[in-house]
Chain A
Amino acid sequence: MRTSVCDIVLVGVGGQGVILLSNIIGKAALKAGYPVRGAETHGMAQRGGSVMNHIRLGCEYGPLVPAGGADVLLAFEPAEALRYAHYLSEDGIAVVNTYPVHPTTVTTGQFTYPSLEEILRPLQRVCNKLKTIDATKLAADAGNPQAMNVVMLGALSEYIPLREEELIEALSVSVPAKFLEVNRRAFELGRREV
């Protein structure tokens, strides 16, 4: 029996705005009348480390999405998408920003970063639908590469039971007013991409 309306796992790299985006989704869900549970990564993992947040819409249990249970995996970075692919359910959708961020283990030459194709092939295998998006470029097009997370939100909006108005309203109370226009453009570019 289902215990949540929609389980989302958001992954990325510390500093990419994963927590901000989780909060926007959480606020929008509240506006939509859903009980909502989220789990955030604060502290150590923010220093450029791998970051995972969980958001459960229409859920009144614990905040952690069980492995194999995510309806949507929203990945801000391709390697991180694969790192957490085991959270996807068989019917799950992976929405992946294709712009790589190299960890220091790669920049210092200890490890190599795999090709995008090597990353996406196993992802394709474990989920129902894989949607790739060059969100970092789209954010730059919108006027600020930092708005990558909001491009991803726009893309995500097509797959979750929240209305655009609810998400935009939550967005506008969560980002400084002077960045709102850029963020609205970023959202729209992301939404149109899927």
Chain B
Amino acid sequence: MVYKLQKIIAMKEYLLGNVAIARGILEAGTRVVTGYPGTPASEIVEALAPFARKYGIHVEWSVNEKAALEVAIGSSWAGTRAVSVMKHVGLNVAADPFMTLAYTGVRGGLVVSVSDDPFCHSSQNEQDSRRYAQFAGIPCLDPADPQEARDMIIYAFELSEELELPVLLRPTTRVSHASSDVEVGQIKGGGTNPEFTKDPARWVMLPAHARTRHTVLLEKQDAIKTALADVPWNRLVLRGNIGVIASGISGLYAEEALKQLEADISILRIGTFPPPDGLCSELLEHVTKVMVIEELEPVLEEYVERLARKHNPDLELLGKRSGHIPRVGELDTFQVRNAIAGMTAMPLLEVISVKEADEILPPRPPSLCPGCSHRATYYAMKKAFGKDAVFPSDIGCYTLAVRMGTIDTCLCMGASITLASGIRFAGEERDICCSIGDSTFLHTGLPGLLNAAYNNARITVTVLDNSTTAMTGHQPHPGTGFTVTGARTKAVSVETVANALGADFVVTVDPYDLNATIETFQRAKECQGLSVVIAKQLCGIIARKSGIRRRPFTVNKENCTGCRKCVEFGCPAIEFDEDSARINALCTGCGVCAQICSNKAIEVVE
């Protein structure tokens, strides 16, 4: 998707948080942008890609977050501004360079933009990246809305250069995927001509250098606090002797709650970590009771608790530990309002109960699209391996097939192959067939496959190759032959890679050919070594967008016995009407159901 960036003429625009961040990156004169797709972060890189050439910026989808961060670090060390963009769990992949980067520091401003996902809207956990900044000893900016996110990322580059440290920008889902009116500024051109300056004591982290740089990092901690002391995103309003302290978007929820309650409560909003000692102690000395409001981890709460020991030892501190603010999920004004009302003995609001919604509504979980080839692959996999085999899986659209019985695990990017290996080495004797998407395979599946080959894991690895990173919005990857800007590049062949890494059996099959796919899985199952099946068929959404049309199918009612075999396949295009199956307008013509039907009742529409 091309996001509107360049056309911003008016100084105020209705922008998605991620697009506002992209705009800030452009305005800051950043020259290198890297990242790996992940909800809710993907649109930042996507919004910048169409303008790479015009502004002389290198924009890339990297193969994974570790590669992304390292590329950005190299650019920073060469003296240019760089940003690396990822979702929270991506930072785990990039944690190795991230932690030592804090020691080496930076030259050109370097910002790591990490979108957190409270409530796990699209994630496997809800870790709090503020902890990572704390762990590494670097500043973290916690924007409350798209405007702050845009303003903060521009400031983050300046702060990074001032401190010679990377800065973490931490929007959450409700900032990255919020839209609002955003005031923007002028776009700066890319900076001067960068050059890498040799400086082994800085860039070569031998133990002797690392020990020195660790000290340098610790000595910078006071400078971080000084630099952040006067930023506009920490603001204090003193009112009554009860107070709230809230971080990031929770600050907006708290402000709204106070307005609704018309309560005489002091408020301190925090946008930076470490938080400002001066403002915090001013509030703590003013109040007798304070509630700390933040999503996820009690990062701010722990800080306030420590500070209160010095400035107000008798302070009554409410928050996560006291059970007033949940540590799980996301907050909103409703929850925050009731938490504050409860603290001040004001009446609580109740959610109106609509019990029929729970009683009569069918669930509507996201599901694989009509005609999705993953469904066909899993159907064939189960036919060949039986339901008793072990099916580790991975992260992507295909995890939505969990109801098919062929998804037994989902842990993190690339873990399917290694979990399968571990389950085998534990002594599991049943067949093991894992599945992983093409983008995930190239992201972190490669070392797993190499590990399986090296250590003789007798497993079957299925690469669900739909030639895109589908779940996050169809980004290209090294197997597609295109970069993020649409430029042609080398296309890596999964088959060649699997052979090179040492697989004993590598076969590519079209999952729309059901019999061939079942037969391939059977051969893979019989293989006594490491077998790889590549189920290759273009993602249905991309196929449709690129004009590929197949003739749809229909049910011949005379032949249909109502056995429901096709219905149980689970394609949204197949429905059941009283006593027979019916194919609706969603049919993409993949033809798999016609191969499943044992009564030849499903025919192509001529």
Contact in complex: B353, A36 (CB < 8 Å): no
Measured CB to CB, the nearest residue on chain A to B581 is A107
Q: Are B180 and A36 in contact (CB under 8 A)?
A: yes
Interface residues of A in 46-103 (CB under 8 A from B): 46-50, 61-64, 66-69, 79-80, 82-83, 85-86, 88, 102-103
Does A64 contact B472, Cβ atoms closer than 8 Å?
A: no
> Which of A37-45, A159-167, A186-194 touches B?
A37-45
Interchain nearest-CB distance for A56 vs B (Å): 9
Residues of B96-130 at the interface with A, using a CB-CB cut-off of 8 Å, are 121-122
Q: CB within 8 Å of A: which of B358-404? A: 360-369, 397, 400
Proximity bits, B558-574, A CB within 8 Å = 1, else 0:
00000010011010101
Q: How far does the alpha carbon of A43 sit from the alpha carbon of B174 in the complex, in Å? A: 13
Q: Is B21 an interface residue (CB 8 A)?
A: no
Residue of A38, A79, A88 with most chain B CB atoms under a 10 A cut-off: A38
**Do the beta carbons of A83 and B255 come within 8 Å of each other?**
no
Chain A residues lying within 8 Å of B352, measured Cβ to Cβ, are 67-68, 85-86, 88, 126
Whether B178 pairs with A61 at a CB distance below 8 angstroms is no
Whether B40 is near chain A, meaning CB under 8 Å from some CB there, is yes
- Chain B residues with Cβ below 8 Å from A66 are 332-334, 337
560-602 of chain B: CB within 8 A of chain A = 564, 567-568, 570, 572, 574-576
Interchain CB contact under 8 A, B121 and A23: no
Please give, as numbers and ranges, the residues of chain B lying within 8 Å of A14 by CB-CB distance.
Answer: 366
B471 on interface, CB distance cutoff 8 Å: yes
Are B12 and A30 in contact, with the CB atoms below 8 A?
A: yes
A163 to chain B, nearest CB (A): 17
Interface Cβ pair total, 8 Å cutoff: 187
Residue in contact with A47 in the complex, picked from B353, B360, B397, CB distance below 8 Å: B397
> For the complex, is A128 an interface residue (Cβ under 8 Å from B)?
no
Q: Which of B14, B174, B570 has the most chain A CB atoms closer than 10 A to its own CB?
A: B14
Residues of B within 8 A of A107 (CB): 567, 572, 574-576
- A27 at interface (Cβ–Cβ under 8 A)? yes
Whether B16 is near chain A, meaning CB under 8 Å from some CB there, is: yes
Q: What is the chain A residue whose CB lies nearest that of B372?
A: A47
| Contact assessment for B570 and A108 in the assembled complex, using a CB-CB cutoff below 8 Å | yes
Whether B364 contacts A49 by the Cβ 8 Å rule is: yes
Once the chains bind, are B179 and A44 in contact (CB under 8 Å)?
no
In the complex, chain B residues whose CB is within 8 Å of the CB of A40: 16, 177-179
B245-263 contacts to A, CB under 8 A, are: 249, 252-253, 255-256, 259-260, 262
> Which one of B13, B39, B354 lies within 8 Å of A86 (CB-CB)?
B354
Given known contacts A38-B179, A43-B122, A103-B362, is B357 in contact with A49 (CB within 8 Å)? no
**B252, A62: Cβ atoms under 8 Å?**
yes
Within 8 Å CB of A83, what residues of B? 357, 361, 364
Chain A nearest CB from B105 CB (Å) reads 34
Bound Cα distance A106, B570 (Å): 10
B400 CB contacts on chain A under 8 angstroms: 44, 47
Bitwise interface map of B from 341 to 360 toward A, beta carbon under 8 Å scored 1, else 0: 00000000111111111001
Q: Which of B16, B177, B249, B472 has the most CB of A within 10 A?
A: B177
Q: Does A176 contact B (CB under 8 A)?
A: no
Q: Kindly report which residue of chain A lies nearest to residue B256, judged by CB atoms.
A: A61
- CA distance in complex: A106, B567 (Å): 10
B181 within 8 A of A: yes
Q: A67-B351, A105-B363 are in contact. Are A23 and B179 (CB under 8 A)?
A: yes
Is B362 in contact with A79, judged by CB distance below 8 angstroms?
Answer: yes
- Given that A40-B178, A62-B252, A64-B333 are known contacts, is A47 also in contact with B366, CB under 8 Å in the complex? yes
Q: Are B252 and A44 in contact (CB under 8 A)?
A: no
Closest A residue to B178 by CB, please name it.
A63
> CB of A149 within 8 A of chain B?
no
Residue of A at shortest CB range from B262? A1
Contacts of A105 in B (CB 8 A): 362-365
**Partner pick for A1 among B122, B259, B355, CB 8 A cutoff:** B259
Interface of chain B residues 1 through 52 with chain A (CB within 8 A): 12-14, 16, 39-40, 43
Please measure, in the bound complex, the distance between the C-alpha atom of A59 and the C-alpha atom of B145, giving whole angstroms: 12
Does A35 touch B at the CB level, under 8 Å?
yes
| Contact A48–B369 (Cβ < 8 Å) | yes
Decide if A35 touches B333 in the complex (CB within 8 Å): no
Inter-chain contact A35/B39, CB cutoff 8 Å = no
- Chain B proximity of A42: nearest CB distance (Å): 5
Contact A63 B174 (CB under 8 A): yes
- The 8 Å CB contact of A62, one of B39, B332, B363, B367, is B332
> Is A48's CB under 8 angstroms from B179's CB?
no
Q: Of residues A14, A63, A111, which shows the largest number of chain B Cβ atoms within 10 Å of its Cβ?
A: A63
Asked if B567 and A111 sit within 8 Å, CB to CB, the answer is no
Give the contacting residue for A61; candidates B12, B253, B367; CB below 8 A. Answer: B253
A contact set with B: CB distance below 8 Å: 1, 3, 13-14, 22-23, 26-27, 29-30, 35-50, 61-64, 66-69, 79-80, 82-83, 85-86, 88, 102-114, 118-119, 121-122, 126
Q: Which 7 A-B pairs have the closest CB atoms?
A: A49-B366, A43-B39, A111-B362, A47-B366, A61-B256, A43-B122, A66-B334
Q: Can you name 29 A-B residue pairings with CB atoms under 8 Å?
A: A1-B260, A3-B259, A30-B181, A35-B181, A37-B178, A39-B177, A47-B369, A48-B369, A48-B572, A49-B364, A61-B253, A61-B256, A62-B333, A63-B179, A66-B332, A66-B334, A82-B360, A82-B361, A85-B352, A86-B352, A86-B357, A103-B362, A103-B367, A104-B365, A107-B576, A109-B564, A110-B362, A114-B361, A122-B357
Other A-B contacts than A43-B122, A108-B568, 6 sampled, CB-CB below 8 A, are A44-B121, A49-B365, A62-B333, A107-B576, A111-B362, A122-B357
